[in-house]
Structure 1
Amino acid sequence: MHKQDDSQQSAELRQAFLRHLPKRLDTLTRRGLRQAREGWDINTLSLIFREVQTLAGACGRYGLLDLGEKLFAIETALTDYVDQVLLPDEAHSLHIATMFEALRDLANAQSDSSPAPMRRIAVAPEDLERTDNGYPLQLVPPAEYWRRFGDTPAASNVVPLRPAAVPAPEPAPAVVETPAPAVATAVPETVIAEAPREPAPAKAEPVAPRVGNARKVYHLTDGSPLACEVDQKLELLGYELSLLDRVDELTEVIGAIAPHLVVVDAHFLGDLEPIGEVLKVARAKSNHRVAMLAMSELGDLDVRLRAMRAGADAFIPLPAQTTDVMARIAELTEADQSDPYRVLIVEDDRSQAIFAESILRKAGMQTTMVTDPLAVLDELDKANPDLILMDLYMPGCSGMELTSIIREREAFVSTPIVFLSGENDTDKHFEALNAGGDDFLSKPIRPKHLISAVTNRLRRARHIQRRSQNQNPRDPVSGMYDRAYVLDRINAKLAADEATSHAGGLMLVDMDEATARREQVGLIGFDRLLSQIGAFLANHVEASELVTRFGETSFVVLCPERNADELAAKAGDLRDRLSRESFDVGGAPLPVNLSIGICPFAANLGDAGAMLNAAERAMLESRRPGGTHVSVYRAKLSGDAALADTIRQALRADSFHLVFQPIAALAGEDGEDSDEQFQALLRLRSDGDKVLTASHILPMAEQAGLIDEVDRWVLGRCLMVLSDRARQGRPVRLFTSQSLHAARDPSRVAWLRQQLETRRLSGNRLVLEMRLPETPGERQSLAGFAAAVHQIGVGVCLSGVEPGDVADQVIAHLPVDYVKIAPKCIEDRGTRMREDLRRMVHLAHQHNRRVIAPRIEDAQSAATLWTVGVDFIQGNFVQHEAQNLDYDFRAAAS
């Protein structure tokens, strides 16, 4: 990459990392403190250790040396426990908790001087971990807290907080960062309303005031997931946010200090009228706009009318996406912060033009007056108007003719044009609108009517422009995105929970023999060539994939869904297609070749900079003699041969072991669905005392040709467990994973039948779980295998199923008994995915398939899946994996 651009790239990478660092530190410190205080779990310990490692390296790389030192100290303290698969004792846990507290305090201290400060909240230590359905309880200001502000602007930014719905006594609070997704600050700016909690007064230290002209937001909230996410984004965007849980508190603070926005959540919809009355008074007294946003579980016309009549400026029916809510909040709060509205007045009558100009200028608009219609085109680019106010009849060129000419200009295709004329013929009005006008105002017009008509048009035009820019920061000509935006999207994906489990990755695309091409066509021609290559890449990727210029001769392509093999196939296809193109840079057609390096998110490198470095190394590797010019970065795996040997020894020594996790019905049911049933999970303790999961064991077993032996070991051990439980009079059903190799093994069904007969077991106590096959041939093999095992009573479960045409086909035609949803579909809580899941579950039920949702971690996910119609759930929310089968299904059902 060219050194001239390195500093800019480094700055953008650092900025993208810093933007998401607060959330990552939130999650890390919350998990670390909770584990150290309440007890350790080996899986969570591994997650914490991996995140500490990643952040320590990134902080050092981006110059955050103090934070890096604290993180490295924690990494050192945890290393031995992770390597030996041990849990810290009480003394070491206290020491580790102290280290996490020191990390939190340092982050808070640095936030005071940072241009993008971290969130800080005053909360009592024992309330730090209090949650409701997995979401931290909100913090709201106490009654009449505004009286403490005083009359100075600085004092109005200092708002003490108290924990809501916490009946315990209040000791001295500690300043901590809030765990995502809930964020609360103590400065009023916009109001948001949700379900009430029982108030519990408590004392807290005041939060340091914010600096700047932030928008005031009041949020009346009960801490729902959507509200938590909205609060977090408001805080990160610099809004001064106050959270309240009672209507009387809300009306009180509105009466004291008028906000810029009030957001009322669905639970408080019935209280909109009294809120609206107080807002009406506040609007009359305030010198800025005071808006209200209402949310509702219902979206019918009556509810919308009631909200609007109560003074709501915007209405959002639920469920809704956080991005949609934030877009509406931006529209409502940023309108009066935008540049002045620009109006071009085209009027041949100078006195009329001056009249309109004076009215609009007094309303705060920036105006340009043109009395010669033939001079309008020259003024368009200079004035760059948001709206054109045009007379209908003018000498030399009518308003309709001029409108048609203006609409030919690409930059002004959507600029509102409002006609102003004394014409009373309605046919002429329609002609004018048909010519490209947006509205028609009849002379004479009262000043307030002119201001209202123009302002409403301008506000809508600005909102449409802002939405377009926010949702699609993409160059309309080349199709490429801003580099900073793409880097931010990469870091946002990395900051998400369980980021490494997601598919996707990025490509670094670089031109071969770039120096020779530059000398051949010159600097101007070379720049034109790069623009054409960027446009080609943007036109040959999916809509969800982003392309941006990176470096002097390189491009980055962000692919959020493709796995490593799919990325390599796509890169090869792009390279082949482009090599067949000829680019015109002012001379003879010029062929171009590319080299492409790929870094998947599964590489777990921690931040965008590390991923781009890895992709660059892969790209350089692809150019070596004999290379294919497409290479995937793969972490250097050590000890593959040793792992394969460990698996062989485990098979010989029978040293694998199983752990179990219950599969619970979402609703009490009779018959087979009321049976106790567990998922059997394969584990192996290696020589280094590390516990290897199936995700470590099975790929190596398949690579080493040992997968059939591992499959038979798992089945044999599950049959032993079933036999023991049958002798105890406590029968269970076991779900056990098998590879697709089993479906292709002609002797497998006969072997399984013999095992069942020898142990005198009923086949209906066993369910074989197999991944959804990718090819039609594999699906055909699985169909035959499933039909064969059904003859001996054994069930079949299809896992990793995502809504779509393939799922519909296999559910309808493959003879399976259970369908297990792909985990990433459960993580996606969008309305569309919920509807797709509901449709897939309905189809499964039509074909007598039962549906299981795995990896359920919280009550909200379980509740959502219940509404979708899922039959069973599995995951830590039900019970963590264990070596025994002790789970009280009856108590859980009650």
Structure 2
Amino acid sequence: MSMFDLQDRLRGAVSAFVEGAIVSAEAIAPRLDLLRASGWADEDAAADVSHFVHRLAGTAGTLGFGDLGRTAGALETLIADIGEVRLAEGAAAVAPDILAQADLLADIILAGLKGVAVGGSDLLAAAMTPAPGLAGSPDPAVVATIGAGPALLDMVRATGTTAIEIASPDALEALSVVCPGGVIVNLEAMDGDDAWRGPLDGLRAQGVPVLAVGGTGDFPWGLRACRLGVDAYLPLDDPGEVLDRLARMRLTRHAEPLRVLVLDDDAVLAGVYATILGAAGLEAEGMTDPAQILERLEAFEPDVLVTDLHMPGCSGAEVAALVRHRAQYATMPIIFLSREQDLGLQLGALSPGADFFLPKPVRPDFLVSAVRSRARRGRGLAEMMRRDGLSRLFTHSTILDGLEREGARAGRTGAPLSFALLDLDHFKAINQTHGHATGDQVIVTLARVMRRALRGCDLLGRCGGEEFAVILPGTPAEQAVGVIEDLRALFRGQTLRAPTGEVRATFSAGVAGTPAGAPPLSATALFTAADKALAEAKARGRDRVVLAES
């Protein structure tokens, strides 16, 4: 969304508020008259007016009418105070000057609603921060290195990636024109960290992941990496792990946009928040009915939920508790928006499972920062739960879900779909001969080769033990056999060094697929067909790929 689009949408929201202001004043005036006539004692009228000024405080403040929002908030607080005094000490205990203050605030609000104008909004004049722009899309075939050393440079280049060695902060700053796919910083080989911080921040703002390596991994080295502002830090023990980590960081940075679901019973506010978040590069959707929350969560699959705390019929705290009852949303961050000032009530609202509390009215830049950081962590945690701890590939259940999803997509589009099962040959013997640590190294090596050799859209998984899986969307079965054959040859050429000597490993594979335009096979049918083909590959002597019979 361009800056002009953002301004147009926000101006539309402000204009809608202004157009409805007089109508709102006329609608609430009779309830205010009744409340005043009762000496601010009529409980039903007090509840109606309190709800009105509560919404007005949030809406007016967010749309840039700060004085009107603050006045509405003051009246809301005063109504609550009057009610508490009447309940505790009786009507006579309410001081006349307090009632006079309430009358005055009500008059100011009515006058403010009737005199509000689009030009009086601070929101339209405020500088909005656009989403970080790229000098060009980060190129995964280019990696910038600072003091990487021969071993790491050789491994980078062995993958077909261009390694650009950077000797100075000025050279790094100039690199923004190239926009590399990542930056590797060797802490042991660089000096003058302060001079490097600015250029690194500039690349990170363009979406380029920065990984620091070197040292022993203890606190001083980790703290130094943090002060450089890098995205992650690893000791330089295994160059292969460094490349894998950088690849995972790149996928995370340039995956689909973070998704945000905004729930507010005020349609204007829900739309404004969604617009501001969308302008910052997030995919945001607004909604007003809490009763639809489960349906929208399932359909939209957000990374974070932002919800108003005080809503009629169902509070934000109740929404949070309801959402947390569903195991699939256990890691999804929930952020409350409210004018609530009482710290005890804020903490109580967080107890059902929310993660953060944003006060209304909220500054757009603060809203974007708070939402984006929590959405990233939420997505990262959810991603960790979907992956195997050793190989960092998807788990068996995640692969089955992906196979169902890709099968449904293939059925809708008519595109081909292939699925492969891989099994390490003689893996038990490797463990017995060379030890389980070496067996783990074989698993990690195969996972690493799979990540480098296959496409970003392919889903890679470890189904348990020595069995792996690959989902290849848009790929005919015959072509998938060639892909897995190339993978087999690449893995076969890997040499691992163990205390007992050099170790080489192979795998057998079975491939099954749905041809283009053919009725889609179920996930179970594809899995079964690939499993039978895998058994056939083993029966024929292992270290081969077999295509399932169609």
- The alignment's TM-score, normalised by the length of structure 2, stands at 0.49
- The alignment's TM-score, normalised by the length of structure 1, stands at 0.32
Larger RCO (CA under 8 A, 6+ residues apart)? 2
Query: Looking at CA atoms only, which structure, 1 or 2, has the larger radius of gyration?
Result: 1
